[in-house]
Amino acid sequence: MVRENPRQPSPPKTLEQLRSFVADIQSRKVALRLGARAGKALASIVESPSQTAICSISEVAEAAGVNASTLTRLSKKLGYSGFNEFQDVFRNHVADRQHYYSEHVRRLLRGGKDATSHTLAERIAEDEVGNIYGTLQGLEAPALEAAAQRLIRARRVRAYGARQMHAVACFLSYGLGMLRSDVGLLASAEQGMAHGLAQLDKDDVVIVVGCTPNTRGTVETARAAGGQGMEVIALTDSRASPLAAVASHAFVCESGGTFFGNHTAALFVVAEILLTTVAEQLGVRSVQQLRRREALNSELGVEF
């Protein structure tokens, strides 16, 4: 009886899938073994998607510190037919980033010509419910409690998010500021990110919020904060996200669906859960802090 060879699994089709696959290789969750040089080269290539997308195999190999034949063998070991198919992952990633929002609308128009406002509303709502449910399935109580403790004990807490994610960062900053002092957004537009980070030290916490396509500024901010010894808490959309890679605590919030940008309901729900966990762990101190705030509101004639 002839034993068939096990079928080679399909190689990753997107950069996020490839990053996740690389993480699984490094943690030995998959059986694939790479040599030290090949593994280091792969990590370098994955961290430079724009360069990998446009350069020749010789240029990519030189930047990664290996020769071109090593990249060819590596590509085939990962399941691709060769380097060109491997490089397509990076080319598609760059193209998707450049047309992320317009492509979402184009697919919506192509697939929903007969959709009414009501059916479209149902689709958006179903997407958000699915995102929230999927996110909750991956939340772990110990991680929430540990992150909440860091938010309580840190000297200062700053939050940062760009574009859509700025609203989530503002929500986190405002909510946490109701429970403790010295909380705010990382930097104003006038002062810049370097100024904001320069006000912090290793006893402080930076919350970063970002989803695909992450802005370069968000990723660089997270890396700079981590490099300065600050603790980073990330709300992002994938374990393979560059934000998750530098965060001490990363909460994965599903954000896919029909909307032409990132769906944000799951991000806000996780933010609410995190803030509620902080309030619960603070106990009577959270009540005292909120009553002090309520008294100030009354004195200033602020409506609740």
Q: What is the pLDDT of residues 96-114, one digit of tens each?
A: 666 666 666 666 666 665 6
Tell me how far apart the alpha carbons of residues 299 and 286 are, in angstroms, rounded to a whole number: 20
Pair of tokens at residue 104 = 């979402």
What is each CA distance from 290 to 78, 180, 294, 295, 303, in whole angstroms? Answer: 54, 9, 6, 9, 15
For 149-158, 237-246, 267-276, which range has the lowest pLDDT when averaged over its residues? 237-246
Local structure of 78: helix, strand or coil: coil
Produce one character per residue of 252-268: b if its CB has 16 or more CB atoms within 10 Å, e if not: bbbbbbbbeebbbbbbb
Instruction: Give yes or no for a contact between 52 and 90, defined as CB atoms under 8 angstroms apart.
Output: yes
Q: For residue 7, what pLDDT band results from cuts at 50, 70 and 90?
A: very low
Residue 301 has pLDDT above 90, yes or no: no
Q: For residue 275, what pLDDT band results from cuts at 50, 70 and 90?
A: very high
Element (H, E) at 236: strand 231-236
Instruction: Give yes or no for a contact between 26 and 46, defined as CB atoms under 8 angstroms apart.
Output: no
- Can you give the pLDDT at residue 123? 83
Residue 298 has pLDDT above 90, yes or no: no
Q: What percent of the chain has pLDDT over 70?
A: 86
CA atoms within 13 A on the CB side of 296: 7
Residue 253 has pLDDT above 80, yes or no: yes
For CATH 1.10.10.10, list the domain ranges present in the chain.
Answer: 15-96
For 61-65, 265-269, 279-283, 288-292, which range has the lowest pLDDT when averaged over its residues? 61-65
Q: Is 174 exposed, middle or buried (0-12, 13-18, 19+ CB in 10 A)?
A: middle
The pTM of the full predicted model, rounded to 2 decimals, is 0.69
Place of tokens 């374990």: 239
- Can you give the pLDDT at residue 104? 62
Residue 175 has pLDDT above 90, yes or no: yes
For CATH 3.40.50.10490, list the domain ranges present in the chain.
Answer: 130-300
CATH topology of domain 130-300: Rossmann fold (3.40.50)
Instruction: Give yes or no for a contact between 82 and 37, defined as CB atoms under 8 angstroms apart.
Output: no
pLDDT in tens, 211-226: 877 888 888 899 999 9
- Can you give the pLDDT at residue 5? 42
Residue 1 has pLDDT above 70, yes or no: no
Tell me how far apart the alpha carbons of residues 261 and 263 are, in angstroms, rounded to a whole number: 6
Q: Class of the 15-96 domain?
A: mainly alpha
Mean pLDDT for all residues in the chain: 85
Count other C-beta atoms under 10 Å from residue 294's C-beta. Answer: 13
pLDDT in tens, 135-158: 999 899 999 999 999 999 999 999
